[in-house]
A and B are shown apart, each in its own frame.
Chain A
Amino acid sequence: MTDNSPILQKLRSGLWDDNPGLVQLLGLCPLLAVTTTFVNGLGLGIATLFVVTCSNMLVSATRTWIRSEIRIPMYVLIIASLVTCIELIFKAYMPALDRTLGIFIPLIVTNCAIVARAEIFASRNPIGASMLDGVAMGAGFAALLCAIGAFRELIGRGSIMANLDMFFGGDPQTGLVIVDGGFLLAILPPGAFFSLALAVAGKNYLDQRRKNAPKAGGRIHAR
């Protein structure tokens, strides 16, 4: 596969160039609220990935029915049903994670990144492309949740990947404890804003550097 294959391009767009959290700054409420640990970010990230992929597929499958005057109720109906399903699945198979994420699972309904994908992409494109778009955008959002979760957990608690058992079952795990305790601010709400700001600034810095680099170097970075 080359750099220009549409699948890779789409994935790159979701993960980096048009990342829903980092560039479009959508879905910030759950992003800022749950990312106190890596496992929380991973849980909500995967739930969101699932919802956005399925909602893109359903919206795309019904796109010939969609009339502009009722499109928003249709999106809401589809997204709300999918979120209810995933909430039931979490309660049944990952109860501990469901308790930690709490209200933020049902609140995926209000994640504007998902409605945005339905409106901008899925309602105008065939199922396959819409599914890929959902995977790419969902993965970009999930990756950002995981990164900010890992960063805040590391700074705020001095551990990394604690409580992975909430996701995979088994005995409680402390994760990799680097120092005992940490800089509390990182897991308080201000820490969420600081972390997101650092992430956005970091991305802009990297993009800027790539832009200023000579053309040949830019190609390498682009990979």
Chain B
Amino acid sequence: MMAGEDKQFAPKVWASGLILGALAAICTALVAFTYSVTAARIVANEQAYLEQSLAPLLAGIPYTNNLSESTLIIPPPHELPGNGPAIVYRVYAGDEPVAALFVVTARDGFSGPIKLVIGIDTSMSITSVRILEHQETPGLGDLIEYSKSDWLTQLDKTSLQSPSRDSWSIKRDGGVFDQLTGASITPRAVIKAVKATLLYFEKHRDSVFAVIPPPQDGATE
């Protein structure tokens, strides 16, 4: 009995393997075809979305470069908020640096990391701050989102001189920035991350702009 089953078993396994292999080939072809049709559009969408989300952060500062091609990735360890690599979009008017956009992660939010982008011009003042990703409580902590309240706008045009370095915290901690009713952990995390980024830019300004990307036409990775 056992021997008979074994004899049956081997060809069955081979047949199953072949069937699975053939199906895998068909499915791979299907995915490859869809990918080839959509790939160019997906890249274009991503770049357009990046430009569209970054441009308003510059508060109208004129610039000439393609933001998605002036990316600087700062690998950890660095002094910016967050453990992973930080992304900096460098903004130029001609060859002259005019601003930098830092994408950093505040790790001390109420629930999970808060990813934000901070625009700082070369006179070291904030142009604008926006939240990219967060999981803060809807209705309380999520008021840090620009689309939900104007809380973030109090950071516009601030710098390490105004308000003074010691006052860079929320009012509950003795600083000058408004907190949100019912939520202080979230605003505290955001303010702390912005301050740390300002300090970093002040210290490392030259290295942030050090490697000027060669002007390229349409060459993207």
Q: Which residues of A contact B (CB under 8 A)?
A: 62, 65, 67, 69-70, 73-74, 77-78, 80-82, 84-85, 88-89, 91-93, 95, 99, 184, 187-188
Residues of B near A99 (CB, < 8 A) are 49
Q: How far, in Å, is A100 (CB) from chain B's closest CB?
A: 12
Residues of B near A62 (CB, < 8 A) are 23
Contact B45 A91 (CB under 8 A): yes
Q: List 8 A-B contacts (CB under 8 A).
A: A74-B19, A77-B27, A78-B23, A80-B27, A82-B30, A91-B45, A93-B38, A188-B138
Residues of B near A184 (CB, < 8 A) are 138-139
Interface string of B116-135 (1 = CB under 8 A from A): 00000000000000000000
Q: How far, in Å, is A104 (CB) from chain B's closest CB?
A: 15
Contact A91 B19 (CB under 8 A): no
Residues A65 and B31 in contact in the complex (CB < 8 Å), given A184-B139, A187-B138: no
Q: Which of A69, A85, A91 touches B31 (beta carbons < 8 Å)?
A: A85
Q: Which of B16, B20, B34 has the most CB of A within 10 A?
A: B34
Contact A92 B41 (CB under 8 A): yes
Q: What total of chain B residues lie within 8 Å of the partner, measured CB to CB?
A: 23
Q: Which of B16, B27, B28, B49 touches A70 (beta carbons < 8 Å)?
A: B16
Q: A182 vs B49: C-alpha distance in the bound complex, in angstroms?
A: 30
Residues A81 and B38 in contact in the complex (CB < 8 Å), given A67-B15, A92-B45, A187-B138: no
Residues A89 and B38 in contact in the complex (CB < 8 Å), given A67-B15, A95-B45: yes
| Chain A residue with Cβ nearest B33 | A85
Does B24 sit within 8 A of A, measured CB to CB?
yes
Q: How far, in Å, is A174 (CB) from chain B's closest CB?
A: 12
Given contacts A65-B22, A70-B19, A92-B41, 14 further A-B contacts (CB under 8 A): A62-B23, A65-B19, A65-B23, A67-B15, A67-B16, A73-B20, A74-B20, A77-B24, A81-B27, A85-B34, A88-B35, A92-B37, A95-B45, A95-B49
Within 8 A of A (CB), among B32-67: 34-35, 37-38, 41-42, 45-46, 49
Residues of B near A188 (CB, < 8 A) are 138
| Chain B residue with Cβ nearest A99 | B49
Contact B27 A93 (CB under 8 A): no
Contact A84 B23 (CB under 8 A): no
Residues of B near A85 (CB, < 8 A) are 30-31, 34
Contact B23 A88 (CB under 8 A): no
Residues of A near B30 (CB, < 8 A) are 81-82, 85
Q: A72 vs B30: C-alpha distance in the bound complex, in angstroms?
A: 20
Q: A92 vs B41: C-alpha distance in the bound complex, in angstroms?
A: 5
Q: How far, in Å, is B66 (CB) from chain A's closest CB?
A: 19
Q: How far, in Å, is A118 (CB) from chain B's closest CB?
A: 13
Contact B24 A89 (CB under 8 A): no
| Chain A residue with Cβ nearest B13 | A69
Q: How far, in Å, is A73 (CB) from chain B's closest CB?
A: 6
Contact B16 A81 (CB under 8 A): no
Q: A81 vs B34: C-alpha distance in the bound complex, in angstroms?
A: 10
Residues of A near B15 (CB, < 8 A) are 67
Residues of B near A81 (CB, < 8 A) are 27-28, 30-31
Q: Which of B19, B42, B49 touches A92 (beta carbons < 8 Å)?
A: B42
Residues of B near A77 (CB, < 8 A) are 20, 23-24, 27
Contact A69 B34 (CB under 8 A): no
Q: A120 vs B38: C-alpha distance in the bound complex, in angstroms?
A: 33
| Chain A residue with Cβ nearest B28 | A81
Residues of A near B49 (CB, < 8 A) are 95, 99
Contact B38 A88 (CB under 8 A): yes
Q: A69 vs B139: C-alpha distance in the bound complex, in angstroms?
A: 50
| Chain B residue with Cβ nearest A89 | B38
Residues of B near A187 (CB, < 8 A) are 138
Q: A69 vs B17: C-alpha distance in the bound complex, in angstroms?
A: 11
Q: How far, in Å, is B17 (CB) from chain A's closest CB?
A: 9
Q: How far, in Å, is B135 (CB) from chain A's closest CB?
A: 12
Q: A184 vs B139: C-alpha distance in the bound complex, in angstroms?
A: 7
Q: A135 vs B34: C-alpha distance in the bound complex, in angstroms?
A: 22
Contact B24 A88 (CB under 8 A): no
Contact A92 B139 (CB under 8 A): no
